[in-house]
């Protein structure tokens, strides 16, 4: 049983937490639990989830699904899954791979169908009713998966099969499924005493509610802030296309919200320091005061995670999480981060000095000045204006370029198809391999709106599966939050948004190209510090001159981006990298320190901001730089799946920098042999083997950190 919403990647804030808990050890427990959830035929009448979806590619019939359909269908799915699990656990026959491991993998079809739809829709089309449902459904599902993961009878059957693994003549995929299933039970606490499992159950249920509230609070705080400008003089510095994109006819004002695209553009362009400060504070102080304060929630989440880790025999939540990741230990992750932190912070101080020199004695540089004056220094040093580049990066052309890259590397094609999506702006594509075989459906939702959470991410409405030859192919989504241009105008992108599109497309390909039979480890599977690699490596192509020639053409004239402009862009590639490295690494270190707390240490916390300041001060963060995420809006770790793992993006950069070096060494960014290995061992293999083995099979060696440091312009000897 794998829920694709759990594989939402990148700037995610998933609310569903499925961990471990209640058990079915005794029949009375099962009966009591069953009594808690009931649904009648009348409640299910006309419910689209009860039907086989006769829709193109089997996508959910979005227009037919009403908010009121989710809960009855979810309850029905839970009851069906309980019956399936009970049948496995209570089977009087000997435990076998088929009647235990495979049977579990096939269980939960309906609940998977409902949950995948529900959690994707709440990320893109959230409303008040769905918010209420989130707070009810997340703890409910947490308890149900606790009931599976801590079911002693079920665990005994899994243990029995695992003990026979060397005599069962399993193929590679069967052996991997057995290994991961057994590992999951052990790490969930299935072998613990019942009173300990009961405590874990209570913790997980509370965590599910807390993480949901955290995400909803953040969404409310983000939607609640608007910077309105009515005096045109105060739009000084803003480009015409940006002004047009934020003009609100009803308000009679230019309205800037907190979606990252609009925020970065305004902070870079605006000449009005007071307004930059207002937007800066609106962004960094979100969900940190009054009725919407996520600080206490962050503390409680950290306390519960630390306690759960202690109950399972670990020093901290970070120790528990990292055991199965490439970094292995919190110390390993922290040591790695500090190798990048030190040269990054030193470079950031140099960048600050350059900007202060430009400002002179007019004022002391502050955090809300950094974006604006970094751009001024960049223009002066490299004669490069962001607005000069944007006309060459039009959304449709950029997306076509990404498709062409995928075709040249992996032989896949993307054909536009008419499919009714969850929103009219969704564009869908039938993805086929080099032989014309269907690989999956790719659905792109590119624009920001109030009902959609911030950031960029990949997810799926259905995962790939080939159990018994069923050949089910995935339904993959990519989400960005670009500013919607005025009607009839093109969507012009900053280059950072171009690389984000390539990044999420990499996650999409990881989900589309998978050739794994079992959903448990198909698609975007693996430890967090590996799963960003298939996305991040594709960012390298976006900046290659050969690639730019394929998609970077002026939206009006069709002129390919001039080589001299490309050269200036590449020359400026590492500019302000001290800032970017420092703000990201600060957030990564903060995440680690939240989750390195022992249960005893976490219990003493009373003030999230005070803890945050103590941590960042200890690492020497300068006051002019904020961590990329402050605790109150750090949804990756407090409402998503990156707890003790936000460092993963940087760790994966070791892999992507080293991996792209293989193409450079081949002197061909589309080298067929290198691309074939990348396709086979990374994009097609999912979690077939341990992450370090998959990487070695592709690269032929372990990765080196030197390409990462060199790529950021840092001295590799530091």
pLDDT of residue 15: 28
CA distances from 66 to 121, 380, 601, 611 (A): 11, 55, 45, 43
Active site residues: 504
Q: Over the stretch 45-57, which tens digit does the pLDDT of each residue have?
A: 999 999 999 999 9
Question: So where are the chain's domains?
Answer: 4-212
Domain 4-212 falls under CATH 2.40.30.10? no
Label residue 39 by pLDDT band (50, 70, 90): very high
pLDDT of residue 640: 85
Q: Which residues contact 93 (CB under 8 A, 6 or more apart)?
A: 99
Q: Over the stretch 244-282, which tens digit does the pLDDT of each residue have?
A: 999 999 999 999 999 888 999 999 999 999 999 999 999
Contact (Cβ atoms closer than 8 angstroms) between residue 344 and residue 577: yes
pLDDT of residue 717: 58
Strands 253-256 and 247-248: antiparallel
Label residue 34 by pLDDT band (50, 70, 90): very low
Contact (Cβ atoms closer than 8 angstroms) between residue 465 and residue 686: no
CA distances from 137 to 104, 146, 399 (A): 22, 14, 36
pLDDT of residue 439: 98
Label residue 384 by pLDDT band (50, 70, 90): confident
Q: Phi and psi dihedrals of 377, rounded to 5?
A: -65, -40
The percent of residues above 90 in pLDDT, for the chain, comes to 86
Tokens for 288, please give them. 């940190």
Q: Over the stretch 314-344, which tens digit does the pLDDT of each residue have?
A: 999 999 999 989 999 999 999 999 999 999 9
CA dihedral of 84, 88, 91, 97, whole degrees rounded to 10 = 140
Label residue 198 by pLDDT band (50, 70, 90): very high
Label residue 476 by pLDDT band (50, 70, 90): very high
Mean pLDDT of the chain: 92
Contact (Cβ atoms closer than 8 angstroms) between residue 647 and residue 333: yes
Q: Environment class of residue 289 by beta-carbon count within 10 Å: exposed (0-12), middle (13-18) or buried (19+)?
A: exposed
Tokens for 470, please give them. 């069923």
Q: Over the stretch 484-542, which tens digit does the pLDDT of each residue have?
A: 999 899 999 999 999 999 999 999 999 999 999 999 999 998 898 899 999 999 999 99
pLDDT of residue 260: 86
Label residue 141 by pLDDT band (50, 70, 90): very high
Average pLDDT over residues 162-188: 96
pLDDT of residue 714: 83
Q: Which residues contact 356 (CB under 8 A, 6 or more apart)?
A: 364, 365
Contact (Cβ atoms closer than 8 angstroms) between residue 585 and residue 591: no
Strands 475-482 and 427-432: unpaired
pTM of the model: 0.86
């Amino acid at each position: 049983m794998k829920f694709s919403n759990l594989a939402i990647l990148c700037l995610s804030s998933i609310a569903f937490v499925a961990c471990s808990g209640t058990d079915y050890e005794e029949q009375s427990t099962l009966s009591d639990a069953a009594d808690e959830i009931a649904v009648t035929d009348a409640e299910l009448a006309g419910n689209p989830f009860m039907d086989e979806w006769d829709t193109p590619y089997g996508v959910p019939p979005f227009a037919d699904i009403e908010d009121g359909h989710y809960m009855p269908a979810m309850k029905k799915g839970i009851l069906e899954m309980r019956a399936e699990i009970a049948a496995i656990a209570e089977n009087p026959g000997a435990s076998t791979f088929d009647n235990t491991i495979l049977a579990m993998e096939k269980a939960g079809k309906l609940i998977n169908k409902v949950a995948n739809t529900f959690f994707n829709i709440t990320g893109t089309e959230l409303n008040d009713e769905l918010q209420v449902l989130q707070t009810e459904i997340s703890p409910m599902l947490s308890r149900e998966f606790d009931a599976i993961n801590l079911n002693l009878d079920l665990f005994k059957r899994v243990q029995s099969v695992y003990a026979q693994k060397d005599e069962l003549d399993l193929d590679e995929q069967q052996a991997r499924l057995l290994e991961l299933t057994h590992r999951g039970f052990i790490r969930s606490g299935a072998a613990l005493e019942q009173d300990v499992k009961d405590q874990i159950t209570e913790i997980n249920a509370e965590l599910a509610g807390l993480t949901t509230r955290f995400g909803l609070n953040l969404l409310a705080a983000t939607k609640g802030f608007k910077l309105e400008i009515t005096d045109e003089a105060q739009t000084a510095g803003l480009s015409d296309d940006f002004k047009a994109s934020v003009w609100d006819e009803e308000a009679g004002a230019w309205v800037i919200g907190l979606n990252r695209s609009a925020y970065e553009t305004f902070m870079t362009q605006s000449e009005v320091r007071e307004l930059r400060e207002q937007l800066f504070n609106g962004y960094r102080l979100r969900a940190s005061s009054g009725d919407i304060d996520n600080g206490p929630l962050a503390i409680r989440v950290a306390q519960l995670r630390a306690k759960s880790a202690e109950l399972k025999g670990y020093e901290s939540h970070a120790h528990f999480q990292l055991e199965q990741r490439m970094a292995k230990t919190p110390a390993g992750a922290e040591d790695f981060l500090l190798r990048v932190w030190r040269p990054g912070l030193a470079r950031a101080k140099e960048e600050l000095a350059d900007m202060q020199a430009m400002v002179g004695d007019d004022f002391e540089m502050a955090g809300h000045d950094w974006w604006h004056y970094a751009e001024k220094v960049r223009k002066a040093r490299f004669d490069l204006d962001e607005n000069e580049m944007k006309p060459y990066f039009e959304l449709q052309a950029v997306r076509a370029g990404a498709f062409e890259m995928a075709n040249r590397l992996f032989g896949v094609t993307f054909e536009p198809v008419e499919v009714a999506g969850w929103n009219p702006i969704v564009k869908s594509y039938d993805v086929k391999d080099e032989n014309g075989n269907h690989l999956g459906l790719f659905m792109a939702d590119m624009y920001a709106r109030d009902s959609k959470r911030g950031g960029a991410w990949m997810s799926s409405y259905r995962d790939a599966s080939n159990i018994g030859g069923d050949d089910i192919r995935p339904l993959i989504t990519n989400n960005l939050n670009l500013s919607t241009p005025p009607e009839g105008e093109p969507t012009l992108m900053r280059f950072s948004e171009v690389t984000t599109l390539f990044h999420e497309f990499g996650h999409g390909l990881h989900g589309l190209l998978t050739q794994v039979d079992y959903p448990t480890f198909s698609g975007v599977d693996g430890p967090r510090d590996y799963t960003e690699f298939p996305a991040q490596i594709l960012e390298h192509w976006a900046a290659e001159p050969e690639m730019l020639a394929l998609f970077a053409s002026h939206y009006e004239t069709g002129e390919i981006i001039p080589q001299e402009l490309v050269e200036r862009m590449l020359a400026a590639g590492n500019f302000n990298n001290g800032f970017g490295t420092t703000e990201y690494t600060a957030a990564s270190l903060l995440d680690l320190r939240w989750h390195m707390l022992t249960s005893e240490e976490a219990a003493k916390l009373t003030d999230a901001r005070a803890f945050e300041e103590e941590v960042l001060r200890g690492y020497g963060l300068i006051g002019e730089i904020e961590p990329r995420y402050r605790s109150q809006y750090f949804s990756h770790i407090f409402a998503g799946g990156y707890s003790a793992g936000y460092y993963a993006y940087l760790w994966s950069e070791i892999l992507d920098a080293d991996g792209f070096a293989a193409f450079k060494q081949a002197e061909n960014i589309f080298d067929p042999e290198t691309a074939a290995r990348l396709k086979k061992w990374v994009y097609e293999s999912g979690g077939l083997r341990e992450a370090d083995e998959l990487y070695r099979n592709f690269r032929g060696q372990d990765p080196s950190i030197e390409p990462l440091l060199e790529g950021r312009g840092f001295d590799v000897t530091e």
